[in-house]
Amino acid sequence: MTDPVTDTVSRRRRLLRWLVATAVDIREVTPTARTVVFEVPGWPGHAAGQHVDVKLTAPDGYSAQRSYSVAAPTDGDRVELTIQRVADGEVSPYLVGDLVIGDQIELRGPIGGWFAWHGTETMPVLLVAGGSGIVPLMAMVRARARVANPAEFKLLYSVRTPAEVYYDAELRSKPGLEVTVLFTRKAFGTNRPAGRIGAADLAAGWPPDAGARTYVCGPTGFVESVTQLLLAGGHDPASIRTERFGPSGG
Ligand SMILES: Cc1cc2nc3c(=O)[nH]c(=O)nc-3n(C[C@H](O)[C@H](O)[C@H](O)COP(=O)(O)OP(=O)(O)OC[C@H]3O[C@@H](n4cnc5c(N)ncnc54)[C@H](O)[C@@H]3O)c2cc1C
């Protein structure tokens, strides 16, 4: 049986055109992650939470495609991505280490309408990020600040060490956003022992009867574990939206 959400995404993806994207700005985010802003003439715009497909083509014609979430709300022809280098990866080491301003790649999108926050929703929101899963959630945080939406946002951000936290200063400067960083490898600045996100951490989010929506993004195992904990805690499955980035930590 086909999953209707996956099926719609695949159909929509086939209809999208590849566009030429030129890197116009590069910012280091952590020692192993960077933000790249692309200028993409003809870009149709996107909602916070959506992603794009990126295609790299070698001089011999070999090409590789990967998905990347958009890190910022729609802004004319600009598309901002934040990429984590996966040590033995094919595509991410090029985007994080080799790409320079002026380089061109191909990009298509936006993709995914379910894992999105459009700026008009008023229910409280819980964002739960694992590692680079913060990227589409940051787009939502930035979109909320831009439209001055009074929806209350809380962010639970699970990450190995302080050095791996993305967007730290910006996250802490957003009014009306409650940020809790949960370290998995070494406790830092908190009494919480280092460890994976658990039911007690999620209890700092919204109670099941608050009418909130929860967005969970990160490695597949992280997303599945958080979803199970939310369901066990009495949250309505319809209130939980998920995006899986890949097999392991990111
Ligand atoms: C919808 C969606 C949105 C995504 N958004 C982002 C984003 O905003 N930022 C970002 O950095 N990544 C994102 N990813 C992950 C991205 O698509 C790639 O999987 C990742 O960059 C690794 O690609 P690679 O070619 O370097 O590694 P590959 O050559 O594909 O894989 C090399 C090795 O790394 C493992 N691996 C693959 N993916 C991951 C991963 N994510 N984490 C850890 N190990 C992995 C593989 O199993 C393999 O062993 C997203 C994925 C999806 C599906």
In this structure, what CATH number is given to the domain that contains residue 172? 3.40.50.80
Please tell me the pTM assigned to this model. Answer: 0.94
CB-based contact 52:64 (threshold 8 Å): no
Residue numbers of the domain that contains 204: 125-244
pLDDT, tens digit, 9 for 90 and up, residues 34-44: 999 999 999 99
Residue nearest to atom 6 of ligand 1 (CA): 68
* Of 189 and 12, more confident: 189
The shares of helix, strand and coil residues in the chain, as percent rounded to the nearest 5, are 25, 35, 40
Q: How far apart are CA 20 and CA 41, in angstroms?
A: 7
| Residue 199, domain member (yes or no) | yes
Q: How high is the mean pLDDT of the chain?
A: 93
Task: Give me the number of domains the chain comprises.
Answer: 2
Which residues' Cβ are closer than 6 Å to ligand 1? Answer: 51, 66-69, 82-84, 86, 88-92, 132, 135, 219, 243, 245-250
- Residue 247 Cα to ligand 1 middle (Å): 8
CATH at 57: 2.40.30.10
- Residue 149 Cα to ligand 1 middle (Å): 32
Termini Cα distance of the chain: 30
Q: What is the pLDDT of residue 231?
A: 98
pLDDT, tens digit, 9 for 90 and up, residues 90-113: 999 999 999 999 999 999 999 999
Q: Which residue, of 77, 111, 145, is where some domain finishes?
A: 111
Q: What is the pLDDT of residue 250?
A: 42
pLDDT, tens digit, 9 for 90 and up, residues 140-167: 999 999 988 889 999 999 999 999 999 9
CB-based contact 166:134 (threshold 8 Å): yes
Q: What is the pLDDT of residue 149?
A: 80
Q: Which residue, of 80, 111, 142, is where some domain finishes?
A: 111
Of 66, 88, 105, 114, best ligand 1 pocket probe by most atoms within 8 Å of the beta carbon: 66
Residue nearest to atom 13 of ligand 1 (CA): 68
Residue 186, pLDDT above cutoff 80: yes
Q: Which residue, of 111, 141, 162, is where some domain finishes?
A: 111
Residue 71, pLDDT above cutoff 80: yes
Q: How far apart are CA 127 and CA 76, in angstroms?
A: 26
Mark whether 153 and 213 lie in a shared domain: yes
Mark whether 148 and 225 lie in a shared domain: yes
- Residue 89 Cα to ligand 1 middle (Å): 8
| Residue 158, domain member (yes or no) | yes
> How is the beta sheet containing 19-30 ordered, strand by strand?
63-69, 51-57, 104-111, 19-30, 33-39, 78-84
